[in-house]
Every structure is written in C-alpha cells, then in structure tokens.
Amino acid sequence: MFKLAFFDIDGTLLSHRTHRVPPRTRRALAALRDREVRTVVATGRHPMELDAARLDGMVFDGFAAANGQMCLDGDRRLFMGRPIPREGVAALARIYEQGEPLLWLFGESTSCANRAGDDSFAMAEQAGGVPPEVGPYGGDALYQAVAFVSVDQEPALAAQLPGCSLHRWGSEGVDIIAADGGKVEGMRAFLSRFGCAREECIAFGDQHNDVEMLRFAGMGVAMGNGTAAAKEAADHVTSSVDDDGVARALERVGLLEPGWDG
C-alpha cells in the first residue's frame, strides 16, 4: 500500500476556475494523513509563491518546490537545494537584460522581473498571485526562472540556455531549472527522507511538467482536466479538480474507504 503521496498544486489541488482548493479535496488530504500516509506538495511554484496558492489550513509533510529544485520540510525549512549551474545563470542574465521574453528569476529568498506592464504580466499576476518586483538581477544563486514564451518560441529559448532544462506548465510559459533537476529528483529526496520505496508512492498531476513524476511514481494519477501528455503518462485518469478528482482517485485505489466522508 502507498505510504507517500505527491500532489501538484495548480490544476490538481487548486482549481483554475475558483482559485481555491475544493472543500472535499481538503478533507481527503486530511483523511489521508489520519491514515498515516505522508503528503508532499510537488509544484513548479517557488517557496515564496506557496502562500498565494491558498493552502491555508492544510498540513503537509513537505514541499518539493520549484519543480523539485528546493525541498522543504513540513515547516518550510530547506533541506535540499539544486541551483542552476553558472553557465545557465550567465545566459539567463543576458536574456534578462535584453528584456525579451518576460522573465522572472528566483534565488533562495529573492526574486525579480525584467519588465512589466503587458498582458502576459497581468495574466501571470492573476495566476501566480505574487509576481516579482521589476528590477536588476543582483547576482544571487538561482534555483528557477520563469519565461513567458509560447510553445513555438520554446526551442529557440532552450538553445540559449546551457546546463538548463525547460518544463512547460501551460500554454503561456515554462519553468527553467538545472538540467539534472526536476520533480522526480525532488521525489527521490523525500523517498530517502521518509524511507519509502518508489513503488510505495502515488503522485497526482495535470500538466507537462508532471509527466516524469507520474511515470516515476508507483502509481501516477492524471486529473481529468489535465493535458493529453499527462494522461498518457499516468496509470489512472480521474475526474477534474472541480469534480473532486483527487478524492475520487484516493477512493478508487483504496487509500480512502467507502463512506470516509460521511
């Protein structure tokens, strides 16, 4: 039986329609922890963006943030970090100075944006909740960057970024992290921390940046609102986030028994 469950945030726990975690999803995760299954958030969001996800009142055993580049315990203390290599940082700094594309840079506890004032920035503010302040890059170690580029623009950007990999989180943009990183590396850190085997974890996701996580887990569950790539990678496709997809899947695999919610 599964001992550890990983959950993406946006589109998995958090509804894109209501910008809230559905009440039954909240109760399902609490019930899971009551049954001694550890719960970990696995998200593309940087730790500074977690509060904007409105997870208030929900308790987790850890956070694999920034696409697994920054692993935090349940009290949000960093215990594993994987920064972008120097050659990637130098390339990002050059692109940042050019002002195109719209680029956010994230250090351990710092962030900055190279410009603002257009529709994509307004969209990002609505979706992410905490856009960085516009200003110069100060030279800090970087754990993640966010570039607002289309699918067609992505290959040209990737070619400029040695030592980096791009992970698409939607049609609007990509996360940029170290080439040897990703959500799976964050999962490995937590499997080691909690003494679990790969086969003892279940993972939930909905986007392209969840594909490797869904394939790696003992069981991968894609949301009904997920991309075709996420669904293809998963062992099981549940209903949408707005149709209690997380709770329904936990019931189906036997982690929550019939009638658990009264």
Q: Is the pLDDT of residue 130 over 80?
A: no
pLDDT per residue as tens digits for the range 224-257 = 999 999 999 999 999 999 999 999 999 999 999 9
Q: What is the mean pLDDT of residues 146-166?
A: 95
Q: Is the pLDDT of residue 125 over 70?
A: no
Pick from 14, 62, 2: nearest CA to 250:
2
In degrees, rounded to 5, the angle at the alpha carbon of residue 45 between the alpha carbons of residues 245 and 206 is: 30
Q: Is the pLDDT of residue 128 over 70?
A: no
Burial call 43-75: b when 16+ CB within 10 Å, e when fewer: bbbbbbbbebbbbeebebbbbbbbbbbbbbeee
Residue 129 pLDDT level (bands cut at 50, 70, 90): low
Same-fold call for 4-81+181-252 versus 86-178: no
CATH of segment(s) 4-81+181-252: 3.40.50.1000
User: How crowded is the C-beta side of 101, counted as CA atoms within 13 Å?
Assistant: 21
pLDDT per residue as tens digits for the range 38-82 = 999 999 999 998 988 889 889 999 999 999 999 999 999 999 999
Cβ atoms < 10 Å from Cβ of 125:
13
Look at residue 131 and give its three-state secondary structure. coil
Strands 103-106 and 70-73: unpaired
- Residue ranges of domains in the chain: 4-81+181-252, 86-178
Q: What is the mean pLDDT of residues 174-197?
A: 96
**86-178 CATH, one of 3.90.920.10, 3.40.50.1460, 3.30.1240.10, 3.30.565.10:** 3.30.1240.10
The one-letter amino acid at 201: C
